Structure 1
């Protein structure tokens, strides 16, 4: 599914369009439309932890989000070997509105609640 990026991905401000592809029930791939070398592995945060935040009004307006919108919320993950060493950025989720194909990365204000580089092993059941 192709999305227009309304709020840039941090450090990748030139990426204006991405394709979101499902890898499996947990992981997805976000690929730049114009640069095949820019891609991100994303993870469904809800399989790892309770994850709740308010979407800022300006982002709701940009993505045209209302109470009936169909959203996908994902987080960028840096895959490592072994997988338990992988790092998830919970502080900057990427929102995808599947109704109008608009996407944005947001930065959550409360950095104490969600970290920029949390090890996935912290959330895996032992």
Structure 2
């Protein structure tokens, strides 16, 4: 199927690649279907694009690239809701807030996106951990040190 995207223009996607958010995501409860597309060739930045709304797209990343000690527990009810059977079936992403210059961009560590890669069920979880904020600096070190 073809969709219009914010950053990639018209894109052909497979329906089997659509990520399902049963209850939408906070602030966008009616948006339940997203696709994850690469934003950069290095595999660090992605776009979580709404299938329905072309202008709704979030730049996301794997938080563990930037915060090696990022750690949280997902409540059993969410594990059950997403049908997670093994930790190896889980991908975690966090939404970025892009700034100019890019080095001042932030990452929302308080609300990770949990995806069960076996069934493409997903949920953005709000953590009750006061040490994680919605606007953590993305770069603790220089951006070039991340790639190395």
Q: TM-score, normalised by structure 2?
A: 0.77
1:62 maps to which residue? Answer: 81
| Contiguous gaps of at least 5 residues in structure 1 | none
Cα deviation per residue 1:28-56 (whole Å; 9 max; x = unaligned)?
11011111111100011001112111011
Q: Is residue 20 from structure 1 mapped to residue 15 from structure 2 by the alignment?
A: no
1:92 maps to which residue? Answer: 111
2:71 maps to which residue? Answer: 52
Query: 2:115 and 2:75 mapped to 1: Cα distance?
Result: 14
2:61 maps to which residue? Answer: 43
Moved beyond 2 Å, runs of 4+:
none
Shift, 1:109, TM fit: 0.8
Do 2:25 and 2:32's aligned partners in 1 also have CA atoms closer than 8 Å?
A: no
CA RMSD of aligned residues (A): 1.6
2:125 maps to which residue? Answer: 106
Query: 1:41 and 1:14 mapped to 2: Cα distance?
Result: 19
Count of residue correspondences: 124
Do 1:6 and 1:63's aligned partners in 2 also have CA atoms closer than 8 Å?
A: no
- Give runs of aligned pairs for residues 70-81 of structure 1, distance below 5 A: 70-81=89-100
Do 2:61 and 2:94's aligned partners in 1 also have CA atoms closer than 8 Å?
A: yes
Query: 1:104 and 1:3 mapped to 2: Cα distance?
Result: 10
Shift, 1:119, TM fit: 1.7
1:120 maps to which residue? Answer: 138
